[in-house]
Amino acid sequence: MIPTSYPDPETMARLTARMLLDIRAVHFSAAEPFTLASGLRAPTYIDCRRLISFPRVRATAMDFLACTVMREAGLEAFDNIAGGETAGIPFAALVAERMGLPMSYVRKKPKGYGRNARIEGAMAPGERVLLIEDLATDGGSKLSFVDAIRATGAECAHTGVIFYYGIFPETLPRLAEHGVRLHHLCTWWDVLAEARARGDFDAATLDGVERFLQAPRDWRPG
């Protein structure tokens, strides 16, 4: 069903952060840092895949994402919703259902047999495609998916995610240079604010997380 209510962005950001904390998708550990896809070491980790196991949280977040995309890009801006392999696939299906649109997905690389395709599902030249993924860090993986979509003759100028790190200043300009606009629900700053308000972690842990968020590439364990 197409969502008809449009909460303000601040409310959606706060509630999304709360939901991510509620389902324990948020992990903080300075003593045993996490390694991000970029290779960067971090005391923070977000596991948006957990949403698929929580029906009420999942439904609310997908309503928020559909509303956000339609508000920021337009009600009739898209013809196809594409999920990025693999985390973006279930969320693309849920957003496509809400927006009443076809769904496809994009492989990270050709599968090496059969049609050797990167696009699965139906995607036609000229279609306006919305790329859906679970999160965005520095935007690098988005560009590969966007290029694969554009190689079919379709257009892709927008990507939507549940979570955007919001700590790497080059991300939005990098996407913009590629002709892509990012739509998101919340960032690490929203999660940190909600965690402080709720007292989910001790003050020392949250202070350490804030130091990382302020200068992620300079952060070191200890």
pLDDT tens per residue, range 131-157:
999 999 988 889 999 999 999 999 999
Asked if the structure places residue 3 within a domain, the reply is: no
Neighbours of 163 (CB within 10 A): 27
What kind and span of H or E run contains 181?
Answer: strand 181-186
Q: How far is Cα 159 from Cα 73, in angstroms, rounded to an integer?
A: 10
Contacts of 18 (CB under 8 A, 6+ apart): 194, 198
Q: What is the pLDDT of residue 30?
A: 86
Q: Please tell me the distance from the alpha carbon of residue 93 to that of residue 70, in angstroms, as a whole number.
A: 16
pLDDT at 170 over 90: yes
Q: What's residue 38's pLDDT? A: 78
Distant-in-sequence contacts of 74-81, Cβ < 8 A, 24+ apart? 77/128, 77/130, 77/158, 78/128, 78/129, 78/130, 78/158, 79/127, 79/128, 79/129, 80/104, 80/122, 80/123, 80/127, 80/128, 80/129, 80/130, 80/154, 81/129, 81/130, 81/132
Asked which of 3-7, 31-35, 56-60, 93-97 is least confident by mean pLDDT, the reply is 3-7
Give the model confidence (pLDDT) of 76-111 as tens digits. Answer: 999 999 999 999 999 999 999 999 999 999 999 877
Is 38 inside any structural domain?
A: yes
Do the beta carbons of residue 148 and residue 129 sit within 8 Å?
A: no
Say if residue 59's pLDDT is above 90: yes
Whether residue 219 lies inside any domain: the answer is no
Is residue 20 predicted with pLDDT exceeding 80? yes
pLDDT in tens, 28-38: 998 889 988 77
Measured CA distances, 184 to 118, 211, 214 (Å): 25, 23, 20
pLDDT at 53 over 80: yes
**What is the SS3 assignment for 170?**
coil
Q: How many folded domains does the chain comprise?
A: 1
| 102 within a domain of the structure (yes/no) | yes
Residue 200 maps to a domain: yes
Position 156 in a domain:
yes
**Global confidence as pTM:** 0.94
Give me the domain span that covers residue 139: 9-214
Residues 186-218: tens digit of each pLDDT: 999 999 999 999 998 999 999 999 999 999 999
CA angle 60-70-117, nearest 5°? 90
**What is the reported pLDDT for 94?**
97
CB of 214 within 8 A of CB of 206?
Answer: no
Residue 130, domain CATH? 3.40.50.2020
- CA quadruple 174, 175, 179, 181: dihedral, nearest 10: -140
Answer yes or no: is 2 within a domain.
no
Whole-number mean pLDDT of the chain?
93
Residue 22: inside a domain: yes
Other Cβ atoms within 10 Å of 147 Cβ, number: 13
For residue 22, pLDDT beyond 90:
yes
